[in-house]
Amino acid sequence: ISTSGESINIIKGIQAANRIGALTIGLTGVHHNSLAEVSALTIHIEAENTHDIQEGHMAIGHRLAELVSDDLPTYYLGNGKYE
């Protein structure tokens, strides 16, 4: 996630993930940027200001977490507790 798409630490992380064969997805607010160039898939938030771009990133993050958690198994730990 990088609003400008130019955060060097994010770009280096994506490059490292690419080297080990991970699927990389960049979230940004600017179409043509370094993050988009190194990510396998890029999701652009079409907005004029940083706040709206970051709100879009948060909404995507929440939805992805929901999709992943829906597919995870639930384990019974005993005593009426689940993990």
22-54, pLDDT tens digit by residue? 999 999 998 889 999 999 999 999 998 999 999
What pLDDT does 83 receive? 65
Query: Which one is predicted more confidently, 75 or 4?
Result: 4
pTM, 2 dp: 0.76
Q: pLDDT-based confidence at 71, cuts 50/70/90?
A: confident
Q: What is the 3-state secondary structure (H, E, C) of the chain?
A: CECCCCCHHHHHHHHHHHHCCCCCEEEECCCCCHHHHHCCEEEECCCCCHHHHHHHHHHHHHHHHHHHHHHCCCCEEECCEEC
